[in-house]
């Protein structure tokens, strides 16, 4: 066991926590680069890709509060170690999945592991670093690690995909999780808070099913139609279950999500800003990684490097945004960031099949600046609007809102892409005698259409490939317009409602 009489073990503990956080923050960005490879290998449709991403987010968001509370009661170290085991096992399952259904289940298992890990990292950190100065430094390292994961994820994913198969982006998690498990057993002290209130399993179940039904309806609607009984039933069920969740949380004496927090304007507006920023960020990643590989012909590594400037700008500007918020006020900086994101998305929506990377780069940089300006001050607003003793719940709420926002971004923007893409492709298919299984492959995704086009001789194959790319870009541009409008509206709301100065008592 590590010697805990000095301070060295604390920083060793921090290293374990940061590596684990890096594992989680890498997950979505590293996966996005692999999406075209998954399309080619598993013949995944756009709808199936949406589920591969969102299964993780739904479970993660739904269990975050409950597993964080469980760690507080039975011991954070044990829940943290269990999270490493589950996340590693889910990653191994994902790496060797033979179908998109298996991969989706594996991603849900990874979401369980991430929900056990994420809240425990910050709780363990605050118990290990008891001095204000050291705790502030430790939280700074911890927060920066998440940003590094976003930055290196696409590049690492691209490198792995150039040298190995798509499953390597998941398999890399397994040895890291195993080493983390060993290091945690030796270095990380246990802590708990048995005086906490009871857990809220009812709230957790209601939130997962309510949000899950909403995503199911949005994602499945293009293939079933918005007026199909299944989609309408899912939408109605989602409304009913979410209403039941709100009523349960409002009247419960141990709510998973304390709704009283939302009476504070600073808190509620900042939470909404974070959710919509992740809506735009993950939705844009979902679209652009496919565009870069399928339309521009980039390799996975080139795709990762192409996205790199956005993440690099975000890392550089994020610390400066806090300084700017303290000088000019949170409202001014967050609103400016949201408007920059909306403008950049609007400019990206003019992308064509014939564009080059140089045409996209300025808008990627502008997106990075906008995300950085809005995200860090919004996070600080969430945490600063709550009493210190409720910082853990505030952090979990922030994480949950971002996961839900990202999941909705992939669902809504991916569905807009699919609807427009299929509208472009159906008339073309109607003019030719195409077997139903082949038509389904073409309509399912751009990758499927390109795979079919490779086996169609002569000019007809070129027409199919060109039409599919045009349909994809048309759908992508529509989705980017939707994201731009939503983020722009968020900017107007923040400008009108968010208190400008950082007064925790403002409501």
DSSP letters of 213-240? HHHHHHHHHHHH-TTSHHHHHHHHHHHH
- pLDDT of 488: 95
Whole-Å CA distances, 421 to 154, 444, 490? 26, 9, 27
Please provide the size of the chain in residues.
507
Q: Cβ(224)–Cβ(230) under 8 Å?
A: yes
Q: Distance between CA 191 and CA 417 in Å, rounded?
A: 47
Query: How many Å separate Cα 394 from the centre of its chain?
Result: 18
Q: Cβ(279)–Cβ(406) under 8 Å?
A: yes
Q: Distance between CA 128 and CA 123 in Å, rounded?
A: 9
Residue 343: both structure tokens together: 């403008």
**pLDDT (average), residues 323-331:** 82
- What DSSP character marks residue 197? P
Q: Which residue has the tokens 């893409």?
A: 421
- pLDDT of 89: 96
Higher pLDDT, 257 or 291: 291
Q: Cβ(292)–Cβ(407) under 8 Å?
A: no
- pLDDT of 143: 65
CATH class of the structural domain 261-507: mainly alpha
**pLDDT (average), residues 265-292:** 90
Which CATH architecture does the domain made up of 1-196 adopt?
Up-down Bundle (1.20)
- pLDDT of 203: 82
Q: Distance between CA 18 and CA 141 in Å, rounded?
A: 8
- pLDDT of 5: 45
**pLDDT (average), residues 359-385:** 85
**DSSP states along 119-164:** HHHHHHHHHH--SHHHHHHHHHHHHHHHHHHHHHHHHHHHHHHHHS
Res 45 pLDDT > 80: yes
Whole-Å CA distances, 285 to 100, 226, 277? 20, 25, 12
pTM: 0.86
What angle is formed at CA 81 by the lines to CA 11 and CA 209, rounded to 5 degrees?
120
- pLDDT of 1: 46
Q: Distance between CA 255 and CA 117 in Å, rounded?
A: 21
Q: Which residue has the tokens 């994602």?
A: 219
Alpha-helical (H) ranges within 164-264 are: 168-171, 173-187, 201-224, 229-251
Write down the mean pLDDT value for the chain. Answer: 85
């Amino acid at each position: 066991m590590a010697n805990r009489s000095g301070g060295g073990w604390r920083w060793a503990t921090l290293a374990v926590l940061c590596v684990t956080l890096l594992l989680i923050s890498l997950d979505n960005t590293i996966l996005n680069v692999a999406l075209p490879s998954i399309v080619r290998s598993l013949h995944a449709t756009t709808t199936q890709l949406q589920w591969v991403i969102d299964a993780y987010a739904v479970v993660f968001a739904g269990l975050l509060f409950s597993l964080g509370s469980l760690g507080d009661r039975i011991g954070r170290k044990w829940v943290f170690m269990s999270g490493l085991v589950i996340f590693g096992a889910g990653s191994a399952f994902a790496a060797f999945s033979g179908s998109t259904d298996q991969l989706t289940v594996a991603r849900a298992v990874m979401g369980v592991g991430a929900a056990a890990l994420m809240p425990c990292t910050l709780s363990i950190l605050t118990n290990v670093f008891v001095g204000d100065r050291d705790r502030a430094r430790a939280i700074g390292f911890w927060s920066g690690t998440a940003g590094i994961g976003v930055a290196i994820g696409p590049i690492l994913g691209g490198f792995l995909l150039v040298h190995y198969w798509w499953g390597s982006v998941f398999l890399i998690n397994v040895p890291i999780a195993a080493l983390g498990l060993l290091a945690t057993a030796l270095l990380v002290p246990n802590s708990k808070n048995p005086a906490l209130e009871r857990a809220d399993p009812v709230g957790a179940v209601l939130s997962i099913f309510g949000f899950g039904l909403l995503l199911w309806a949005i994602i499945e609607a293009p293939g079933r139609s918005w007026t199909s009984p299944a989609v309408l039933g899912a939408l109605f069920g989602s409304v009913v279950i979410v209403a039941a969740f709100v009523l349960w949380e409002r009247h419960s004496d141990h709510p998973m999500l304390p709704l009283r927090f939302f009476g504070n304007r600073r808190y509620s507006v900042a939470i909404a800003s974070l959710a919509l920023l992740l809506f735009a960020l993950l939705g844009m990643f979902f679209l652009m990684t496919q565009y870069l590989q399928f339309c521009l012909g980039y390799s996975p590594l080139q795709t990762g490097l192409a996205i790199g400037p956005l993440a690099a700008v975000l890392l550089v500007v994020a610390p400066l945004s806090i300084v700017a918020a303290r000088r000019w006020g949170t409202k001014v900086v967050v609103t400016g960031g949201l408007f920059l994101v909306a403008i950049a998305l609007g400019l990206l929506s003019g992308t064509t099949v014939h564009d080059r990377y140089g045409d996209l780069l300025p808008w990627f940089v502008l997106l990075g600046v906008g995300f950085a300006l809005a995200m860090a001050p919004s996070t600080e607003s969430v945490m600063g609007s709550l009493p210190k003793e409720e910082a853990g719940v505030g952090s979990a709420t922030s994480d949950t809102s971002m996961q839900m926002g990202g999941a909705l971004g992939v669902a809504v923007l991916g569905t807009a892409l699919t609807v427009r893409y299929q509208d472009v492709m159906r008339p073309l298919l109607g003019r030719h005698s195409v077997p139903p299984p082949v038509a389904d492959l073409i309509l399912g995704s751009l990758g499927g259409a390109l795979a079919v086009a490779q086996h169609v001789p002569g000019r007809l194959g070129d027409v199919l490939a060109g039409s599919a790319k045009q349909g994809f870009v048309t759908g992508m541009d529509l989705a980017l317009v939707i994201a731009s409008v939503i983020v722009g509206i968020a900017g107007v709301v923040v400008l009108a409602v968010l208190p400008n100065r950082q007064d925790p008592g403002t409501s």
